[in-house]
C-alpha cells in the first residue's frame, strides 16, 4: 500500500480523514493543494508529511514559482514534524530537479523503513504483546511504516505477536489507522481506550512498547500527545519502551524541550463522533504532541541500528 504516489504529474494521496470506512484518494495539482492536504491531515505522520512536501516543491518548480517563497510557506504547514523542514531544505539544497530529488526521497523512505523493521524485529520476541500509540505505520510514511514496520517485520519472520493500539484521542489515529493497517496484514490486534494502558501493563498484558516520533533530539523525542504518559507507565513496570524513527526525523540542533508543539483546534476535543461532549463555550487546551525525555526511552530504532540516547557521548557524531 502506497500512502502517496507521483502519478501523471500529480501527487496522489490516500485521504486519511476517510479511513477506515473508505479508501479514497486526493490528487494535488499545485503546491498550495499539498499545503492544504498537510494542514487538514489528509496526509499526516512525519515521514509522509516530509515526502509529500518534497512533491509539493516539485509541483511548485514545474509551475515556475518563486521557490524561496514556496519553501517558507511549505515549512509553515505544520510545526512539529522535523521531516517537513528536512525535506524542504533538501530540495532547496539539491543539484537535482525538485522532482528527481522527491522521487529519490520517496524510494529512500521505503528502504529506510524496511531497515528499521529489520533492526526493530530483533527486539521483538516470540509471544510478545506490544503496545503502540498513534499511527507510525505505512500511512505515516510512503509505505511499510516505522513502529508498525517493526511489527510487520517480526510477523513476517513467523513470530507470533499481538499488537495493542490505543485510540489516540482526540483524532483517533490509533483506532482508525493503526488498527486498520494491522487488520490488512492479518496481524492480531486489539483496541484499548487511551486510559487503559497503565492498567494492562500492571496486569502483565503488555510487555513492550514501540512508538514513532516526529522529532528525535539528543535529550528525548517528540511524538503524539499521550506518549509521555505511556512512557511513564512503562517505566513503572520495567517495560521496554522503544521509539522507531529514521534519521530524517533527527534534529541535531535543539533540545527536545524547545520543540514547537502544535496546538490544534478546540473542536477536536469538544466534539466526539459528531456530537458535542461538553457545555457550550467550554475552553480547551489541545496540544498535538508530547515530549518523552531520554531516560524513559530504552532505544531509538533507526535504519542504522538501535541507538541508546542515554549512553551516546556525542550526539553529533551520529550525523
Ligand atoms: O498528528 P499526526 O497524525 O501527524 O501525528 C503523527 C504521529 O505522532 C506519529 O506517531 C509520528 O509522526 C511518527 S510517524 C512514523
Handedness of CA 250, 252, 258, 262 (dihedral sign): negative
- pLDDT given at position 273: 87
Using the CB atoms, write b or e for 122-158: b if 16+ within 10 Å.
Answer: ebbeeebbbbbbbbbbbbbbbbbbbbbbbbbbbbeee
pLDDT at 80: 94
What is the model's pLDDT at position 1?
85
| Ligand 1 atom at minimum distance from 135 CA | 10
CA 311 / ligand 1 centre spacing (Å) = 26
Question: Which are the contacts of 246, defined by CB distance < 8 A and separation ≥ 6?
Answer: 47, 109, 112, 113, 116, 146, 302, 303
CA angle 87, 253, 123 (to 5 degrees): 75
Taking the centre of ligand 1 as the mean of its atom positions, its distance from the CA of residue 238, in whole angstroms, is: 25
CA of 141 to the centre of ligand 1 (A): 9
- Predicted TM-score (pTM) of the model is 0.96
The three cell numbers of residue 285 are 487546551
Bridge partners of 292, per DSSP, are: 221
The grid coordinates listed for 131 are 503496545
Q: How far apart are alpha carbons 100 and 108 in whole angstroms?
A: 12
Q: Is the CB of 42 under 6 A from ligand 1?
A: no
Q: Does any ligand 1 atom lie closer than 6 A to the CB of residue 134?
A: yes
For helices 46-62 and 82-93, angle between their N-to-C axes, nearest 10 degrees: 30
C-alpha cell at 294: 531520554
pLDDT tens track, the chain, 319 positions: 899 999 999 999 999 999 999 999 999 999 999 999 999 999 999 999 999 999 999 999 999 999 999 999 999 999 999 999 999 999 999 999 999 999 999 999 999 999 999 999 999 999 999 999 999 999 999 999 999 999 999 999 999 999 999 999 999 999 999 999 999 999 999 999 999 999 999 999 999 999 999 999 999 999 999 999 999 999 999 999 999 999 999 999 999 999 999 999 999 999 998 999 999 999 999 999 999 999 999 999 999 999 999 999 899 999 9
- Is any atom of ligand 1 closer than 6 Å to the C-beta of 299? no
Atom 15 of ligand 1, nearest CA residue: 136
CB 61 within 8 A of CB 94: no
Amino acid at each position: 500500500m502506497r500512502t502517496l504516489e507521483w502519478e501523471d504529474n500529480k501527487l496522489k494521496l490516500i485521504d486519511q480523514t476517510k479511513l477506515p470506512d473508505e479508501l479514497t484518494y486526493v490528487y494535488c495539482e499545485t503546491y498550495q493543494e499539498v499545503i492544504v492536504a498537510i494542514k487538514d491531515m489528509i496526509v499526516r505522520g512525519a515521514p509522509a508529511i516530509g515526502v509529500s512536501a518534497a512533491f509539493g516543491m516539485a509541483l511548485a518548480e514545474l509551475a515556475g514559482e518563486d521557490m524561496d517563497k514556496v519553501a517558507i510557506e511549505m515549512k509553515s504547514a505544520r510545526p512539529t514534524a522535523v521531516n517537513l523542514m528536512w525535506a524542504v531544505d533538501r530540495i532547496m539544497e539539491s543539484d537535482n530537479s525538485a522532482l528527481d530529488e522527491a522521487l529519490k526521497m520517496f524510494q529512500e523512505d521505503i528502504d529506510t523503513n524496511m531497515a528499521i523493521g529489520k533492526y526493530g524485529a530483533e527486539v521483538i520476541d516470540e509471544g510478545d504483546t506490544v503496545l503502540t500509540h498513534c499511527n507510525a505505520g505505512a500511512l505515516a510514511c510512503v509505505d511499510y511504516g516505522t513502529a508498525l514496520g517493526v511489527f510487520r517485520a517480526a510477523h513476517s519472520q513467523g513470530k507470533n505477536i499481538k499488537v495493542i493500539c490505543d485510540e489516540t484521542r482526540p483524532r483517533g489515529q490509533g483506532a482508525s489507522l493503526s488498527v486498520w493497517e494491522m487488520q490488512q496484514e492479518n496481524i492480531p490486534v486489539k483496541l484499548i481506550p487511551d486510559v487503559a494502558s497503565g492498567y494492562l501493563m500492571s496486569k502483565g498484558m503488555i510487555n513492550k512498547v514501540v512508538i514513532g516520533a516526529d522529532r528525535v533530539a539528543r535529550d528525548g523525542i517528540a511524538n503524539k500527545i499521550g506518549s509521555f504518559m505511556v512512557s511513564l507507565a512503562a517505566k513503572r513496570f520495567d517495560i521496554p519502551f522503544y521509539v522507531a524513527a529514521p534519521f530524517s526525523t533527527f534534529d541535531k540542533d535543539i533540545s527536545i524541550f524547545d520543540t514547537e508543539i502544535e496546538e490544534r483546534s478546540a473542536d477536536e476535543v469538544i466534539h466526539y463522533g459528531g456530537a458535542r461532549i461538553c457545555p457550550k463555550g467550554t475552553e480547551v487546551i489541545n496540544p498535538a504532541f508530547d515530549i518523552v525525555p531520554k531516560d524513559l526511552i530504552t532505544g531509538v530504532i533507526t535504519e542504522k541500528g538501535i541507538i541508546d540516547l542515554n549512553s551516546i557521548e556525542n550526539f553529533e557524531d551520529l550525523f
